[in-house]
Amino acid sequence: MGCYTCGNSSVISGDGIDKAVGLLLAGGIVAYPTDTVYGLGADIESEVAVKRIIDLKGRSAAMGLPILISEIGGLSTVSDHISALVLETGRYFWPGPLTIIMPRSKNISNLLTGGRDTIAVRVPDHPVPLQIISKLGRPITGTSANFSGNSSILDAIDLQDGIGIEVDLVLESKVESRKIESTILDLSGKVPLLIRQGAISENVVRSFLAELGENLSVK
């Protein structure tokens, strides 16, 4: 099977990326564009920054935060058990708007998992977060850049009237997003479970899994 999406091409300011990475290393928070909606990034190894995002969003700590990796090989840094199904699904849909829930690594903070034994992971199809993660050398948080319960933010202008004034840096990009959040698929159990239908439809996910002999359940 081939990839579900193709990569975007855009000229991104190297200085902007370097500034973002420097802030993340110092425990800062960066708002950045993705292929879906604007995200809030923190270094996953900075519990202070992760906690700051949770508090800033008004998000329940029990929900945890999704994380972004730059390529499928990064799964080994966030999960101690990567199933064949996770690998097949990641190879097909990544980079792209599918978040996969899988068993966590013991080294991942409980703040990111909400205390659960699973972690939500995605490889975005956007050069900004991919470059940030690559230069940082580890994953970043990938939660949407909005207060919990509010609509997702689609561009940097909207950030100025909301959560953007509370972050340390807002990165802008001309790359168009899908303007809808990622689809969430839980592959941590015996049966694939669709948690949220987003940019990738239930029918597309169901068809893909059927080719692998898997049935999809829907929450």
DSSP assignments along the chain, one per residue:
---SS--------HHHHHHHHHHHHTT--EEE--SSS-EEE-BTT-HHHHHHHHHHHT--GGG---EE-SSGGGGGGT-S---HHHHHHHHHH-SSSEEEEEEPPTTS-HHHHTTSSEEEEE--S-HHHHHHHHHHTS-EE-EESS-TTSPPP-SHHHHTTTGGGGSSEE----PPP-SSPPEEEE-SSSS-EEEE--SS-HHHHHHHHHHTT-PPEE-
At 202, is the pLDDT very low, low, confident or very high (cuts 50, 70, 90)? very high
Across 5-9, 71-75, 205-209, 215-219, least confident range = 5-9
What is the percentage of the chain residues whose pLDDT exceeds 90?
78
Confidence of residue 13 (pLDDT cuts 50, 70, 90): low
Tens digits of per-residue pLDDT, 43-97?
Answer: 999 999 999 999 999 999 999 999 999 999 999 999 999 999 999 999 999 999 9
Per residue in 130-187, pLDDT (tens digit) is 999 999 999 999 999 999 988 888 877 788 778 888 899 998 876 567 789 999 999 9
pTM value?
Answer: 0.91
pLDDT tens readout for residues 185-196 = 999 999 999 999
Q: Which CATH architecture has domain 14-218?
A: Alpha-Beta Complex (3.90)
Check residue 163 and give its pLDDT. 87
